[in-house]
């Protein structure tokens, strides 16, 4: 042992001696005081837009400004982190996405979105049937509705050729339609005489029989039934959230989110609470409880009231209601003032549908706003937007922080009403379809004059509306830098880069009722921030989407990588 000690002693001495010269970040890796220096820190604070340094103590910003100013506030025990002249900004808020739906394995297969012959979908569906012999339902995703409508025979026959004994349900790539076989209709209790459900349409052949395409809420009812048959559907949701969705959010610099469709009948809220209770949440999350259009109003209102939870100190809050005012343009179900260019359903009216009518929206707001709920209203058509604003004007108060999401078609007379009613316009521009070169793709559906200003961000901003930007993941890309790039390049309805960043940060934080806590980098706010690969103010706007997130911090703690 003596010889061994003689050998080790000089080595130990050298290690200790070297250790005394290590940088501060290696001396005190567990320090609760971090001094970030040599950075390009974009604060989103109009009183101090840029800073060089930031001091964080116990997850809260203690000082921010020049290095000289911040250094005075730091103690000798502070861990020093050199930002190496990298850009820093507040953590991204994505206030409209579907993380459980995007990440869960409850869907067993995905169809090609480029297929033009619906008969060619059959092998993939048949394979899924064979690969899941014990599944009560076969559930897929990804078809294009107009591919089905171009089929030489009824879409239901294509699936019935595969199986009439096991139910099959396939969700359209927009989630606004579901393709089923006859066994699925049987189990759902739908026959040739069944009426259309609230907010939905059972598409039919000329002879009155279903063609297997269930539009909007008619399809939702089928998917609810199918997923309820999966014994481990809640575990699939949990696994997807923990293993895929949360890491993806952190990777993309997203520190706050709104789950835009929390299906409480599927216990989505309990999945979120389980993750929170385990201390595994790496985002701040507000849940938007789904308003089921076909539920009894009094019963549903009581249930929603019982689910409300708001603790300002918790990362998880259940304080929003998500509802659809209408459907989508390309399925001719968005609520429009004028009729669509063609009649897809041959109903009494041809100007779209309402999941929830104006009067019902007003009723729910009257009952739930005073509990503390804010409303997140899907409104795409100009009539849908108008009716949602009317409902808020009818029943909302100054206490509400309601918003309309999508806002693709807005009558100019409604622009100033957003500011007047304190309603946020929440838009998604990450998808290519939202860019001006694709606006007139909708000329086949509505009058071309309506397609001159789809998602009128600039017009709404000029009318003093509060703008938020979000992804609608997984309909569009989760990457916020694609959304930022598209927002600033979509002339004539573009935003400045500063306004676009506000839309992803402080404006979205307002929606989540946390703008006093996060959303900008200021003294006494909590340290949710990201470090970027490039300064997005110093590059060509067409290069913003190439930005990557190097590090993501939540309340001062590193959550990515």
pLDDT at 114: 84
CATH 2.30.40.10 positions along the chain are 2-85
CATH class for domain 93-99+231-554?
Answer: alpha beta
Mean pLDDT, residues 287-311: 98
Mean pLDDT of 493-518: 98
Nearest to 180 by CA among 188, 170, 189, 190: 170
3-state SS, residue 373? coil
Query: How high is the pLDDT of residue 112?
Result: 84
What DSSP designation does 195 have?
P
Q: Which of 1-10, 108-117, 128-137 has the lowest mean pLDDT?
A: 1-10
Considering the chain, tell me which residue range(s) the CATH 3.10.310.70 domain(s) occupy.
107-228
Question: Cα dist. 328→228, 242, 259, 325, 333 in Å?
Answer: 26, 31, 20, 10, 5
CB 326 within 8 A of CB 392: no
**Average pLDDT of the chain to the nearest whole number:** 93
**Banded model confidence at residue 401, pLDDT cuts 50, 70, 90:** very high
pLDDT at 390 over 60: yes
Element (H, E) at 95: strand 92-97
H/E stretch holding 264: none
Residue 23: the pLDDT is 34
Q: What are phi and psi of 469, to 5 degrees?
A: -120, 140
DSSP 241: I
Binned at pLDDT 50, 70 and 90, residue 115 comes out as: confident
Lowest mean pLDDT among 21-30, 64-73, 397-406, 412-421: 21-30
- Rounded distance between C-alpha atoms, residue 530 and residue 250, angstroms: 10
Phi, psi of 215 (to 5 degrees): -90, 140
| Percent of residues, the chain, with pLDDT higher than 70 | 94
Minimum mean pLDDT among 112-126, 267-281, 291-305: which range? 112-126
3-state secondary structure (DSSP) of residue 475:
coil
* Residue 142 CB partners (closer than 8 Å, separation 6+): 110, 111, 112, 113, 170, 171, 172, 173
- Does residue 540 register a pLDDT over 80? yes
pLDDT confidence of residue 9 = 38
Residues pairing with 532 in the sheet: 549
Residues near 41 by Cβ (< 8 Å), separated by ≥ 6?
50, 51, 52, 53, 54, 64, 83, 87, 88, 89, 521
Average pLDDT over residues 526-530: 98
Question: What tokens does 202 get?
Answer: 């059972």
Whether 2 has a pLDDT exceeding 70, the answer reads: no
Pick from 143-152, 242-251, 278-287, 373-382: least confident: 143-152
pTM: 0.93
Residues 6+ positions from 453 with CB-CB distance below 8 Å: 439, 459, 492, 493
SS3 141: strand
pLDDT tens for each residue of 125-184: 999 999 999 999 999 999 988 999 999 999 999 999 999 999 999 999 889 999 999 999
Decide: 388 and 359 in contact? Cβ < 8 Å.
no
Phi/psi region, residue 189 (left: phi>0; alpha: psi -120 to 50; beta: rest), is left
- The pLDDT score that the predictor gives to residue 538 is 98
> Whose CA is closest to 104, among 69, 128, 79, 139?
139
Mean pLDDT of 14-39: 57
Mean pLDDT across the stretch 471-482?
A: 95
Backbone angles phi, psi at 34, to 5 degrees: -120, 130
* pLDDT for residue 451: 97
Share of the chain above pLDDT 90, in %: 90
Mean pLDDT over residues 321-331, rounded?
97
How far is it, in rounded angstroms, from Cα 407 to Cα 385?
A: 7
CB atoms within 10 A of CB 551: 18
For domain 107-228, give its CATH number from 3.40.605.10, 3.10.310.70, 2.120.10.30, 3.40.50.150: 3.10.310.70
Q: How does DSSP assign 386-434, residue by residue? A: HHHHHHHHHH--TT---EEEE--S--GGGHHHHHHTT-EEEE---SGGG
CA 363 → CA 341, 464, 551, distances in Å? 33, 28, 44
> What's the pLDDT band for 506 if we cut at 50, 70, 90?
very high
Assess contact for 420 and 412: CB atoms under 8 A: no
What does the angle CA 203 – CA 358 – CA 322 come to, to the nearest 5 degrees? Answer: 75
- Mean pLDDT lowest among 28-42, 70-84, 183-197, 491-505: 28-42
Of the candidates 319, 327, 414, the one whose C-alpha atom is nearest the C-alpha of residue 375 is 319
- The encoded tokens of residue 199 equal 């907010």
Q: Give the per-residue pLDDT at 66.
A: 97
* Between 356 and 21, the higher pLDDT residue: 356
Residue 113: pLDDT over 90:
no
Question: ∠ at Cα 275 (246, 244), nearest 5°?
Answer: 25
- The 10 Å Cβ neighbour count of residue 366 is 15
Question: How many residues would you count in the chain?
Answer: 561
Give the pLDDT band of residue 98 (cuts 50, 70, 90): very high
Residue 68 vs residues 25, 74, 76: alpha-carbon distances, Å: 19, 10, 15
Exposure b/e, 103-119, CB count within 10 A at least 16 = b: bbebbbbebeeeeeebe
Start-end ranges of CATH 3.20.20.140 in the chain?
93-99+231-554
CA distance from start to end of the chain: 43
CATH architecture of 2-85: Roll (2.30)
Q: How sure is the predictor about 212, in pLDDT bands with cuts at 50, 70 and 90?
A: very high
Tokens of 213: 């395409």
Q: Are 178 and 219 in contact (CB under 8 A)?
A: yes
């Amino acid at each position: 042992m003596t010889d061994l000690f003689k050998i080790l002693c000089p080595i130990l001495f050298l290690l200790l001696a070297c250790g005394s010269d290590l940088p501060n970040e290696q001396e005190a890796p567990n320090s609760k005081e971090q001094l970030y220096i040599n950075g390009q820190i974009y604060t989103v604070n109009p009183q101090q837009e840029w800073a060089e340094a930031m001091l964080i103590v116990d997850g809260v910003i203690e000082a921010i400004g020049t290095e000289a100013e911040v250094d005075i506030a730091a103690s000798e025990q502070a861990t020093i982190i050199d930002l190496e002249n990298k850009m820093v900004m507040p953590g991204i808020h994505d206030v409209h996405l579907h993380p459980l739906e995007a990440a869960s394995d409850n869907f067993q297969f995905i169809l090609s979105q480029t297929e033009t012959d619906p008969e060619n979908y059959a092998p993939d569906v048949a394979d899924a049937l064979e690969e899941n012999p014990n599944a009560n339902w076969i559930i897929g995703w990804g078809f294009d509705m107009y591919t089905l409508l171009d089929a030489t025979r009824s879409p239901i026959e294509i699936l019935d050729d595969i199986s009439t004994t096991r139910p099959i349900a396939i969700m359209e790539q927009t989630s606004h339609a579901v393709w089923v076989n006859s066994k699925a209709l049987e189990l759902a209790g739908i026959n040739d005489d069944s009426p259309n459900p609230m907010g939905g349409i059972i598409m039919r052949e000329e002879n009155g029989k279903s063609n297997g395409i269930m539009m909007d809420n008619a399809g939702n009812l089928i998917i609810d039934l199918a997923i309820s048959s999966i014994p481990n559907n809640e575990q699939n949701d949990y696994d997807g959230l923990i293993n895929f969705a949360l890491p993806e959010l952190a990777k993309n610099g997203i520190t706050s989110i709104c789950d835009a469709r929390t299906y409480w009948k599927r216990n989505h809220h309990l999945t979120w609470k389980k993750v929170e209770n385990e201390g595994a949440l790496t985002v701040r999350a507000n849940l938007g409880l789904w308003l089921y259009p076909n539920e009894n109003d009094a019963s549903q209102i009581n249930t929603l009231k019982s689910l409300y939870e708001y603790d300002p100190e918790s990362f998880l809050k259940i304080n929003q209601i998500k509802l659809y005012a209408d459907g989508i343009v390309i399925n001719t179900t968005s609520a429009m003032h004028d009729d669509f260019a063609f009649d897809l359903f041959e109903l009494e009216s041809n100007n779209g549908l309402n999941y929830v009518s104006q009067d019902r929206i007003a009723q729910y707001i009257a009952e739930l706003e005073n509990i503390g709920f804010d409303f997140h209203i899907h409104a795409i058509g100009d009539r849908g937007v108008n009716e949602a604003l009317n409902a808020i004007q009818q029943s909302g108060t100054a206490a509400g922080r309601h918003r309309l999401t999508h806002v693709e078609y807005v009558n100019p007379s409604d622009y100033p009403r957003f500011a007047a009613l304190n309603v946020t316009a929440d838009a998604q521009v990450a998808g290519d379809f939202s860019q001006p070169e694709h606006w007139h793709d909708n000329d086949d559906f509505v009058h071309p004059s309506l397609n001159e200003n789809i998602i009128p961000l600039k017009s709404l901003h000029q009318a003093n509306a509060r703008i938020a930007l979000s992804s609608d993941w997984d309909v569009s890309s989760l990457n916020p830098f694609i959304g930022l790039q598209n927002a600033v390049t979509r002339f004539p309805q573009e935003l400045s880069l500063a306004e676009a960043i506000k839309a992803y940060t402080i404006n979205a934080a307002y929606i989540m009722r946390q703008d006093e806590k996060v959303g900008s980098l200021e003294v006494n706010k909590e340290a949710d921030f990201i470090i970027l690969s490039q300064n997005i103010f110093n590059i060509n706007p067409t290069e913003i989407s190439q930005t990557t997130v190097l590090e993501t911090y939540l309340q001062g703690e590193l959550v990515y990588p």
